[in-house]
Structure 1
Amino acid sequence: MKKTIRSTRLLAMPLTALAAAVISINTTAAETKREAMETIEVTAQVANASSDIERQRNANKVVAVQTSDAIGELPDANVTEALQRMPGVSIARDQGEGRFVGVRGIDPNLNASTINGMSLPAPEADSRAVALDVIPSDLLASLEVYKTLTPDMSADSIGGAIEIKSLNALDQDGQAYKISVENSYSELQEENSPKLAGKFTQVFDLGGRELGVAIAASHQERKFGSENEETDGVWELMEAEDGSEAFGAPEIEQRDYSITRERTGLAANLDYRLSETSQVYLHSLYSDFSDSEERQRNSWKLDKGDLQTITANSASWSDATLDKSLKDRFEEQEILSVIFGGEHDLDIWGVEYALGYSHAEEAEPHRRDTGFKQKGLRLGYVSAGDVPQMAVGADDLAAALDPSSYELDEIVIEDNFTEDEEVSFRIDIHRELQVGGNPSELKFGLQQRTREKTGDMNATTYDGFGGDYTLADFAMNSVDYGLAPFGPGIDKGALNRFIKANRGSFEIDATATALDSARDYVMDEDITALYAMHSVEFNRANLVYGVRYEKTDFSADGNRVIESGEVIPGAEEVAEDVYVSPEKYQRDYSDLFPSINFKYDYTDNIVLRAAFTESQSRPSFGHLNPSAKEIEYDEGELKVEAGNPALDPYEAQNFDFSAEYYADRLGMFSVGVFHKQIDNFVVTADVTASADLIQYVGNLPVDDAEILQPINGDSATLTGAELAWTQGFDNGLLLRANATFADSEAKLGLGADAGRSNTISLPSQADLVGNLIVGYERDALSLRLSTTFTGERLVDVNLENAALDRYQDSHMQVDLSAKYRFANGLQLSFSGVNLNDEPLYINNSGYNGQYEEYGPSYVLGLSYSTF
C-alpha cells in the first residue's frame, strides 16, 4: 500500500505504449503485451479512450473519466459541454449553450463541483450550482464524475461529485506547448466569433528535485442569439363572455435576443517535487465571463382585457394591452481559485493538506429595462401550438404597427452585485497497516469550509419623463425575428442617449423602487467535517468503508417587505405605504454519513462493484433567501416569488451495483443499477391557497394572487440503470455509447383533500439521458459524430392542479468534429454544433411554456502543438 507521489506519466506515454498498457490490464504475460502492440494500429482517439477506461477501471469508486485529449476530439468549448458526453450526465442550456450540469437526471443544484480538490463558489445570485461554462475546456487536464462517495469526500452530493483537474507540468516530459486560433459562425445571427487559446508546460531539474510550471490561457468573444416565444404564467381553463371554455394563456411574450459573450480563462500551476515521496504545489485559476444581452420583447397582455371567445386552438380578447420593451444588460462574472497544498509519505505514515481560497462575483451594472404600452386593442391567437400564432383585430392592426401609438410607460435602471467567498482547509493523514496479511490503509482527516454569499440589489423605477414620449421617438424599423411578424422595435442607441440627457428630470416610482431594492441578503455557511476511512486490498478485491461527520452552521439576513395602507409596527416606511423590516434566520444541524465501496476483479476482464453511501444536498441560496425575489401588486392583483430559509437539506441513501467488462483489445462494456431514497426534496410550488397574504400587502385588498415558494416535499425514490459501451476497431473506427434510464417518484406531502395527485417525478429529473459517438481515424484524418439526448423533465409544480405543472420537452442535439493533423504539428479542425437545429421547448398540458430556437453554429480552427 505504500504510495509513491508522482504525476500521472501514463498520460504522456507514446501512443503505442499507452495502448499496450491498457490492453494488458491485469495480465502479467509480457507476450500478450507484445502481441497486442503488433496487432493494433494505435490512433489518438484509441489512446484517449484507453486512458479514460484505464482510470475508470482502477478507481475504487464508480466514476466516469474524460482526459483533456479526449475532450479535444469533440466540439465542446467549455467544461459543461464536455461533461455532457459522459455516462449519466445531462446539461441545462442557456441561449443554447450548456451552463449547468446534472448527474443521473438529477437537478444540477444537487451536485458538488471542485477544482483541484477545492469547492467552487457560484457567482449567480440564486444558485448553489456552478455554471461550469465559465471555465474554458483548454485549461483542463481531466474531468472526473464520481457517482459514489468515500468518507474523504464532501457529503454534499446526491447526484454526483464533479472534479476538475487543471494542467500539471509534471504530467509531461520537458517542455511542451500548444497555441490555437479559431472562428465560429452563428447561422441564426450571421455573426463571426474569434477565439485564441494557448498552454505551456516546462519541467525544471533542480538537482534531484523537479519544478513543473504550467500556464494556460484562453479568450473568446462569441456573438450569437436566439428567438423565443413563451407564456408568462401557465395555460389554464378559462371561460369567455360567450360561455365557451378552453385552456388559455394570460400573457404571451415574443422575444428576440442578440448576445455577445466573452470568456477569458487563465491557469497558472506550480508543482514542486521534493522527492519521490514528497511534493508541494500552488494551483490557481481565474475565469472572467461577460454577457452583453439586448432583448426586444412584445408582451401580449391578454388578461388585461375581456375574454370574448375561446376554443382549444384560438381565443380573442377585447380591450387588451400590447407592450413593447427593451432589455439592455451587461453582466460580468469572475471566479478565482487559489490552492496551496502538499503530499508527503513518511515511511508508513503520510499526510496531505491544502489551504484554498475561492472568490466569485457577478456584477450587473446599469441594466436598463424600458417599456412602452398600448391599451384598448383586440388581441388573441389563431393557433395554440408549440409557437402560438398571435393575431390583432382588423380594426386595430394599423395602431399595433404604428410606433406613435405606444406610450413610454416605464424605465427601470438596476445596479446589482453578488459575491460568493469561501476559505477552506483540509488535512488528511494515512497510515499503512496489515489486516490478516492483506495490505490496508487507515485514513482520517479534517475539513473546514467558511462561506459567505451576499447580494446587493439596487433598482430605480421611473414612470414620469417630463413629456409625452412614444415609441416613435426611439423606433427601430424592423426586428429580425423569424418566428412571426414582430412589428417595430426599440433603438438602443437612441434610447440610451435620451436617458443620459434627461435622467435628472425623470420622476421616480417610489413604491416600485422600494420593493425592488429591498432584495439584499447576506448568507453565511460554515461546514466542519471529520472522517475516518479504512481501505483493504485483498487478492482480487478492494474494500473501502468509513464514516463522515459534517456540522453546518447557517445564517441568513434579509428584508421583509410589506405594501400596506396602514402602519406596520416595528417596520421602517421606505416609501409611501411600503414598509421594510429586517428578516433574520439561523439554524445549526449535523449528520453522520456512513459509506462502503466494494470492488472485485471477478476475472482478468470482469470487474464487479457495489456501494452504499449516505449524502445530502443543501438547498440553493435562492431557495434559502429570506428576501422575496419579486413582489408585484397592482389593483388587487398580487404576484410574489419568495424564498424559504427554513428549508431542510435533501438527505439520501444511495445504493449502487455494477459489472464492467474490459476486452483485451480496446473495448469496454458496463451495466449498473442504482437506487436513491431521498427525503426533504425541494420543489417550487404555487402556495397561494395556504399563504398568509397579509405578510406581503397588509390590509390591501387582493382579488387574485399567485405566491410561488420553495417547500420541502415528503420523500422520493430514484431508481435507474446505466449502460456504457466503448469499442475500437482495427480499421480506425471507434464507437462509444451510453444511456442512463431513471424512474422517480416523489411525494408532495399534501393532505387527503388535495385537488391533485400527491405523486410527481423528481423536479428536473430526466427519465433518459444518452450519448452516441461515432469516431473514425486513419492516418492524419480524425472524424467524430456525436448525439446527445435528454428526456422530458418536470420544471414547475402547481399544488392545486397537475394540469398546470410545467415540463421541459426531450432534447436531442447532433454535433460533428473533423480534424486533420499535418506532420509538422499543425492541425486543422472544423466543427458543427446543433446541426439538427434542436429548439428548447417547455409546456404545460401540451401548451406553450417556452419555445426557443438557437440555430446551428460552425467552427473553423488551426492549432500547433508539441504535446
Structure 2
Amino acid sequence: MTKSVLNLKMVAPLAAAIICVNAAAQESPEKQGELMETIEVTAQAANARSDIERQRASNKVVAVQTSEAIGELPDANVTEALQRMSGVFIARDQGEGRFVGVRGIDPNLNASTINGMNLPAPETDSRAVALDVIPSDLLASLEVFKTLTPDMSADSIGGAIEIKSINALEHDGQTYKVSVENGYSELQGENSPKIAGTYTNQFELGERRLGVAIAASHHERNFGSENIETDGVWEEFTALDGSEGITAAEIEERDYTVTRERTGLAANFDLEISEGSQLYLHTLYSDFSDTEERQRNSYKLDEENDDPDTISGSSVTWSDAALEKELKDRYEEQEILSVVAGGTHDLDTWGVEYALGFSHAEESEPFRRDTTFVQEGLELGYTRAGKTPKMFAADASATDAGSYELDELVVEDNYTDDEELSFRIDIRRDLEVAGNPSELKFGVHERRREKTGDLNATVYDGFGGDFTLADFALTGVEYGLGNFGPGVNKGALNTFINQNLGNFEIDETSTALDSARDYVMNEDISAFYVMNDIDFGRASLAYGVRYEATDFSAEGYRVAESGAPIPGSEELAEDVYAAAVAYERNYHNLFPSVNVKYDYSENVVLRAAYTESLSRPSFGDLNPSPEAIEYDEGELEVEAGNPALDPYEARNYDVSFEYYADSLGMFSLGAFHKQIDNFVVTADVASSADYSLYVGSLAVEEAEIFQPINGDQATLTGAEMTWTRGFDNGFLLRANATFTDSEADLGLGTDAGRSNRISLPSQADLVANFIVGYERDALSLRLSTAYKGERLLEVDLEDEAFDLYEDQHMQMDLSARYRFENGVQVFFNGVNLTDEPFYANRRGFNGQYEEYGPAYVLGVTYSTF
C-alpha cells in the first residue's frame, strides 16, 4: 500500500510552476535588496518576537499568532494553525483538523469571531464552528483570549478565538503573493493541488487613504482513511456453551475515499478619513465541499440470537448472524459568508466604534444515497478483540457477492441554515483616576440568530426484482485492517438508481420517522456593558460588568411510532404520528470581570484575573425533534435532544508569571481554575424516560434512550507553560503545555449504578506543542509535534467501566523552505509523518480506530513582501 512520495505525478506540475514564477520574478539589484530586507523582517525569529510583543502588551491572557508565523508551518486551514498555540487542541475529521478546543475544554464551549463578529455554524447539530472551512492564506492574525473583559461576548468558557483577515493599511504600498502547491496522500496515492494569492494596495483620495486587500485560495484535497469501529457498547455476555466474557454485538469495517475542496475569498476595504478616524468594509466568503465514498461491512452479530455461541477474552462466535455491505455516496457543501461594516473615530477625549455585521452559514447534502446489501444466517465473529478487532466469517458465501441481497436504499436531501445579524456600538472616554490615566468604556451589543434544519429521508425497500451485490460488485477494496471482501461499485449502482428510482417501493414508516426532524431555533442576545481601564504606570487594572439577556425559542416535532394517535398529532404514515412542539426560554446573566497586569520589572510581568462566563448548549443538544427512533418487537432505541437544557455557567480564576528576555526569549507559567455549573453530558436516560413519547401505547421491553442532560457541578484546574528561545546559530525552540484535571458530578443520586464522579466531558488532560526551528541564510526548517491527551467522549450510566474515551494523540509535522533573492520560495511539508491513528476505546476495547497515513506537499511561493 506504501507509495513513492516524490513521484513524477506529484513533481511535474510544480516543476513547471517554479520555472514560470522564477522567470517572471527577475528584478533589478535594487529590487532584490528590498526583498532581502523583507526576508529579514519575516524570518522565524522576527515572527516569534512580534507574537510575543503583542501578547505582552495585552491587558488579558492571550496567545497570538501572525500570518507570517502561520505560513512557516504546514497548516492548510485555521483549525490546524490554531493547534500550535498554547493551550489549544483540535478535534479531527478524516485526520484533518476541524474543531478547536482551548485549555482541554470541549470545542462547543468556545466563541469564534472574525473581524469582531460571531461566526455561525453550518453543521446541523453544532454550535462550534468548524474553522477548517477558512483557508489560512486569508489571515492577518489569530488570537486566543483565555480571559475576558466586559466588552467581549461572555459566551466562552474555554476561550475566545478572534480571526483577523488582511488589512491593506498595515502593508506598504502595493504587495502581492502567489502560491502554488501539490500534495500527495500516501494512503490513497492521490494528488491534491492548491493555488492561493494575496493582493494589497493603497490609494490616495485627496487627504484620505483607501486600502484594498484581496485574498483568494482554492484547494482540492484527495485522501481517505481506513476504519474499524464498534456500533454500541461492549458488555458482559453468557454464551450458549456457558462461557462468559465481554463482547460487542455489532462491529463495522469502513473504507473512506474523500475529495475535499476549499475555496476562500476575502475582500477588505479600509478608508482612513483622517488620523484616528477610519471606515471599513470587511468581507469573507468560504466554500467547503466533501465528496465522500464509504464502503462498509457491518457485522450484525446478534441479528437472530441474543447470545453468542462461544466467547473468550480474545474471540467470539455467533451463529445466525448477518453481514451487511453498504455504500454511502455523499456530497456535502458548506458555505460561510461574513460581512462587517463599521468605523472607528477618535474625538479628542472621546472615541466611538461601531459595526453592523451579517453572517450566513449553510450546509446542504443533496441526494445522499446509502445502499445496503445483506446476507443472513452466517457464522461470524472475531479472533482478536482490543484496538483493532480481527473479524472472520466461517461461511465461504461471505465472499460471494451473489449471496448478498439488495435490502435498502435511503436517499436524503438535507439543508441547514444559520444566520446572524449583529450590531455593536462602543463608546470610550479618557479620564483621570487619582491622577492616573484611565479609560471608561461602555457599549451595547445586539445579536439576532436563527438556525433552521430541513431534513428529508426517503427509505426504499422494494426494487422490482431480486438484485444482489453481484450486479454492482467492486473487487479489490484496499483495506489494511482486514479482509474486506467485495465492495459496491458506485458507478454501476448510481446508474441503476437513476434509471429506476421512480419504480422503487417506499417504506412509509421508516421514511416518516427519518424525515420528521425539521426544526427552527431562534436565539436573540441583548448585551450592555461598562468597564474601566486604569493605567497606574507599572500596573494596569481593567474591570467592569456585562449584562446579557437571552431569548431562546425552538420549534420541532414530537414523533411517535404508535398503535394509537398521540394528542394533537397528524398521521404521517401507518402508525407514525407527529405533533408540532414549541419551547421558549428566557434567562438573564451578569458577568463581572477583573484583569490585573503588573510590570514587576523590565523583564517580568505578573497577571491575575477573575471572570464569569457561560456557554449555551449546542444546537444538536437543544433540538426538540428526535434524531432517530427505532422500534422492533419491544426493543426501543432513541437519540433525542433536550430543549430544556440550562446553559453552562462558569467562574474563572487566572494567575500567571511571564518572563521576557532581552534577547529573543520568553517563559510564562500560569494557573487557572474553573467552577462550572450545569455541564451537559449525553447519557442513556431510559430508566427515567416516558416511552410513550416515542412509541405511544406500544409495549417496550428493552430501551436505550440517549439524550443530553445537565449534570450538577464540575471543576477544572490547570497549569499552563509557554517557552520560546532563539539562538544566534539560527535555532529557535518553542514549547507549550497545558495540564488540566477536572471533576464533574452527574447528579444521579446515591442509588445510581455507577459513580457520580467523572472527568468533564471532552476535556483533554494534557495539551502540548514542541517546535524546533532552524533558519540560516535562505534556508528555513520547522519540525513540530502536537500532543493531545486522553479525553472522555461518552458516559455509560450503567457502568463507568464502559465509558468511551478518546486515546492520546501525537502528530509530527515538518516544514522546509528555501528563499531566493528574487522573492521566490520553494517549500516542502510533511504532515502526520509518524502515521498517527485516531483511537477511542471502552475499557481497552475498540470504540473507533482510524488510520490516515502521512501526506506530503511540495510548492512554490512568490511574494513582494
Task: Report if TM-score (shorter chain) is over 0.5.
Answer: yes
Which residue pairs with 1:581 in the alignment?
579
C-alpha change, 1:18 and 1:531, in structure 2 (3 Å) is farther
Shift of 1:381: 0.5
Shift of 1:806: 0.2
C-alpha contact 1:104 1:159 (8 A) present in aligned 2: yes
SS, match of residue 126 in structure 2 = coil
Tell me the distance in 2 between the aligned counterparts of 1:315 and 1:776: 53
1:53 counterpart letter in structure 2: I
Shift of 1:701: 2.5
Shift of 1:694: 1.3
Tell me the distance in 1 between the aligned counterparts of 2:664 and 2:38: 11
Which residue pairs with 2:774 in the alignment?
776
Tell me the distance in 1 between the aligned counterparts of 2:271 and 2:391: 65
Tell me the distance in 1 between the aligned counterparts of 2:231 and 2:674: 34
SS, match of residue 303 in structure 1 = coil
Tell me the distance in 1 between the aligned counterparts of 2:683 and 2:183: 40
Deviations 1:367-395 (A, max 9, x none): 000000110000000000200000112xx
Shift of 1:637: 2.1
Which residue pairs with 1:740 in the alignment?
738
Superposed, which structure 2 residues align to 1:12-161 within 5 Å? 44-161=43-160
Identical-pair percentage:
74
Deviations 1:730-759 (A, max 9, x none): 010000000000000000001111110000
Deviations 1:756-809 (A, max 9, x none): 000000000000000000000000000000000000000000112101210000
SS, match of residue 622 in structure 1 = helix
SS, match of residue 687 in structure 2 = helix
Tell me the distance in 1 between the aligned counterparts of 2:847 and 2:535: 54
Which residue pairs with 2:244 in the alignment?
245
C-alpha contact 2:565 2:696 (8 A) present in aligned 1: no
Shift of 1:845: 0.5
SS, match of residue 157 in structure 2 = coil
Which residue pairs with 1:702 in the alignment?
700
The number of equivalent residue pairs is 831
Tell me the distance in 2 between the aligned counterparts of 1:518 and 1:569: 17
Tell me the distance in 2 between the aligned counterparts of 1:16 and 1:828: 16
Tell me the distance in 2 between the aligned counterparts of 1:615 and 1:385: 41
Superposed, which structure 2 residues align to 1:499-518 within 5 Å? 499-518=497-516
Shift of 1:635: 2.5
**Worse overlay, 308-317 or 284-293:** 308-317
Which residue pairs with 2:177 in the alignment?
178
Deviations 1:626-676 (A, max 9, x none): 000111112222111100000000000000000100000000000000000
Taking only aligned residues, the RMSD between alpha carbons, in angstroms, comes to 1.3
C-alpha contact 1:727 1:735 (8 A) present in aligned 2: yes
* TM-score normalised by L of structure 2: 0.95
1:109 counterpart letter in structure 2: N
C-alpha contact 1:15 1:42 (8 A) present in aligned 2: no
Q: Does 1:474 align with 2:439?
A: no
Shift of 1:18: 11
Tell me the distance in 2 between the aligned counterparts of 1:634 and 1:798: 23
Tell me the distance in 1 between the aligned counterparts of 2:426 and 2:171: 27
C-alpha contact 1:305 1:317 (8 A) present in aligned 2: no
Tell me the distance in 1 between the aligned counterparts of 2:428 and 2:747: 45
Superposed, which structure 2 residues align to 1:197-346 within 5 Å? 197-306=196-305, 307-346=308-347
C-alpha contact 2:108 2:127 (8 A) present in aligned 1: yes
C-alpha change, 1:515 and 1:856, in structure 2 (3 Å) is same
C-alpha contact 1:719 1:743 (8 A) present in aligned 2: yes
1:435 counterpart letter in structure 2: V
Shift of 1:690: 1.3
Shift of 1:303: 1.5
2:135 counterpart letter in structure 1: P
Shift of 1:42: 7.5
C-alpha contact 2:36 2:821 (8 A) present in aligned 1: no
Tell me the distance in 2 between the aligned counterparts of 1:480 and 1:284: 43
Tell me the distance in 1 between the aligned counterparts of 2:392 and 2:502: 39
Q: Does 1:837 align with 2:816?
A: no
1:359 counterpart letter in structure 2: H
C-alpha contact 1:771 1:786 (8 A) present in aligned 2: yes
Which residue pairs with 1:785 in the alignment?
783
C-alpha contact 1:289 1:334 (8 A) present in aligned 2: yes
Shift of 1:721: 0.2
SS, match of residue 750 in structure 1 = coil
1:662 counterpart letter in structure 2: Y
* TM-score normalised by L of structure 1: 0.95
Superposed, which structure 2 residues align to 1:760-839 within 5 Å? 760-839=758-837
Tell me the distance in 2 between the aligned counterparts of 1:86 and 1:815: 15
SS, match of residue 569 in structure 1 = coil
Which of 549, 560, 564 is equivalent to 1:551?
549
Which of 520, 526, 529 is equivalent to 1:528?
526
C-alpha contact 1:80 1:132 (8 A) present in aligned 2: yes
Tell me the distance in 2 between the aligned counterparts of 1:693 and 1:373: 30
Superposed, which structure 2 residues align to 1:571-720 within 5 Å? 571-720=569-718
C-alpha contact 2:440 2:531 (8 A) present in aligned 1: yes
Shift of 1:208: 2.2
C-alpha contact 1:18 1:50 (8 A) present in aligned 2: no
C-alpha contact 2:42 2:68 (8 A) present in aligned 1: no
Shift of 1:207: 2.3
Superposed, which structure 2 residues align to 1:331-370 within 5 Å? 331-370=332-371
Tell me the distance in 2 between the aligned counterparts of 1:63 and 1:813: 24
C-alpha contact 2:35 2:821 (8 A) present in aligned 1: no
C-alpha contact 2:225 2:850 (8 A) present in aligned 1: yes
SS, match of residue 336 in structure 2 = strand
Which residue pairs with 1:6 in the alignment?
none
Shift of 1:16: 11
Q: Does 1:564 align with 2:562?
A: yes
Shift of 1:43: 7.0
**Worse overlay, 499-508 or 90-99:** 499-508
C-alpha change, 1:42 and 1:278, in structure 2 (3 Å) is closer
1:329 counterpart letter in structure 2: R
C-alpha contact 1:15 1:44 (8 A) present in aligned 2: no
Shift of 1:17: 10
Shift of 1:822: 0.3
Tell me the distance in 1 between the aligned counterparts of 2:791 and 2:567: 45
Shift of 1:15: 11
C-alpha contact 2:183 2:191 (8 A) present in aligned 1: yes
C-alpha contact 2:740 2:765 (8 A) present in aligned 1: yes
Which residue pairs with 2:399 in the alignment?
401
C-alpha contact 1:120 1:358 (8 A) present in aligned 2: yes
SS, match of residue 837 in structure 1 = coil
C-alpha contact 2:330 2:369 (8 A) present in aligned 1: yes
SS, match of residue 302 in structure 2 = helix
SS, match of residue 689 in structure 1 = coil
Tell me the distance in 2 between the aligned counterparts of 1:569 and 1:158: 41
Tell me the distance in 1 between the aligned counterparts of 2:567 and 2:784: 62
Tell me the distance in 2 between the aligned counterparts of 1:238 and 1:739: 42
Q: Which runs of 5+ in 2 are unaligned?
A: 1-33
Which residue pairs with 1:9 in the alignment?
none
Superposed, which structure 2 residues align to 1:410-559 within 5 Å? 410-559=408-557
C-alpha contact 2:360 2:419 (8 A) present in aligned 1: yes
SS, match of residue 659 in structure 1 = strand
Tell me the distance in 1 between the aligned counterparts of 2:677 and 2:627: 26
Tell me the distance in 1 between the aligned counterparts of 2:827 and 2:684: 49
Deviations 1:58-91 (A, max 9, x none): 0000000000000000000000000000000000
1:718 counterpart letter in structure 2: L
Which residue pairs with 1:380 in the alignment?
381
Deviations 1:439-498 (A, max 9, x none): 000000000000000000010000000111110111111211111110000001111111
